[in-house]
Amino acid sequence: MNETYSGLQRLSETREFGVADDDPDIRGWDVVAGTQMVGEVTDLIVDPAAMKVRYVEVDLDDDAFKLKEERRVLIPIASTDLDATAKRVIVTGLQFAQIASLPVYSSESAAGETSRPRAARESYGDTSRAAGVADNRREDARLTRAEEELHVGKRQTEAGEVRVAKHVETEHVREPVTVQRERVRIERRPVEHATARDITIGEDEIRVPVVEEEVVIDKRAVVKEELVITKERVDETETVEADLRKERFDVTDTSHLVDSGAASGTGRRKS
């Protein structure tokens, strides 16, 4: 708690310091407390002597706090957590009502903190856990170059289906069949040597049954053929196309002081 509040500066107002390489620049991120919207990070308040970020300057949301004019407050960096995926600053050390009661912050109020360190600590709390800042006064400055790479993956999708079914068709067929039928043949023959006593005159009748073969039709289902259905995998080669972005270094050397070989292959060289 025995820290000095003098000499604090907005990060945007100093060229000697910048956000450390391993820390995200949270300026422009939304600030929330629980599920309530608080505002937006407008700047970072740094301690040049310690090279640490002490506070987050927040422009309070007009609708959330029912404000009629712009109001900015300081929230200690130690009272926040970062959600880098959603690009949000989550206030954990202060309640929503406490944030509403924080004093208005301006560059003049920052300069006045040297004369009232106790009031500053009571309003903004402990800032012993602070984020680091990078010293832009170093001799070596670094600029990274990135480019997109094409990564091709595969996934299975349904391309369609093959339906195999059967239906019934009726075919009219003819087939010759040999059948036997009995026929009655009558012959007249003369009778010789007949005696009168063997002859009887009267009515008589002879019945001769006639037999014939009848065609009987019988139908039976007989398996004639079968379909064997299988699946197989085949490999086909497809060509994919995509536009990839690459960062290139543009070195502007108006004084002709840059070693021309040091920048070769990294981009265009301007002079």
Per-residue pLDDT at 138: 54
Per-residue pLDDT at 270: 56
Check pLDDT > 50 for residue 112.
Answer: no
Kindly indicate the confidence band of residue 119, based on its pLDDT and cuts at 50, 70 and 90: very low
Per-residue pLDDT at 116: 36
As a whole number of angstroms, the distance between CA 107 and CA 45 comes to: 10
Lowest mean pLDDT across 49-53, 205-209, 224-228, 236-240: 49-53
Check pLDDT > 70 for residue 259.
Answer: no
Q: Enumerate residues 6+ apart whose C-beta is below 8 A from 143.
A: 249
As a whole number of angstroms, the distance between CA 80 and CA 37 comes to: 14
Rounded CA Rg of the chain: 53
Check pLDDT > 60 for residue 5.
Answer: no
Q: Which domains does the chain have, with CATH numbers?
A: 9-135 (3.90.50.10), 147-152+238-271 (no CATH)
For the whole model, what pTM was predicted? 0.43
Cα–Cα distances (Å) from 17 to 23, 181, 220, in that order, read: 13, 123, 97
pLDDT digits (tens, 9 = 90+) for 82-99: 998 999 999 988 888 889
Query: How wide is the angle at C-alpha 132 spanned by C-alphas 128 and 135, nearest 5°?
Result: 135
Q: Mean pLDDT throughout 182-207?
A: 81
Per-residue pLDDT at 31: 94
Check pLDDT > 70 for residue 132.
Answer: no
Question: For a pLDDT cut of 90, what percent of the chain falls above it?
Answer: 20
Q: With the C-alpha atoms ordered 84, 88, 89, 91, is the resulting torsion angle positive or negative?
A: negative
Q: Enumerate residues 6+ apart whose C-beta is below 8 A from 211.
A: 181, 182
Check pLDDT > 70 for residue 115.
Answer: no
Of all helices (H) and strands (E), which one includes residue 117? helix 117-124
Per-residue pLDDT at 4: 37
Check pLDDT > 50 for residue 158.
Answer: yes
Backbone phi, psi, residue 144, to 5°: -85, 155
Backbone phi, psi, residue 13, to 5°: -100, 5
**Higher pLDDT, residue 149 or 42:** 42
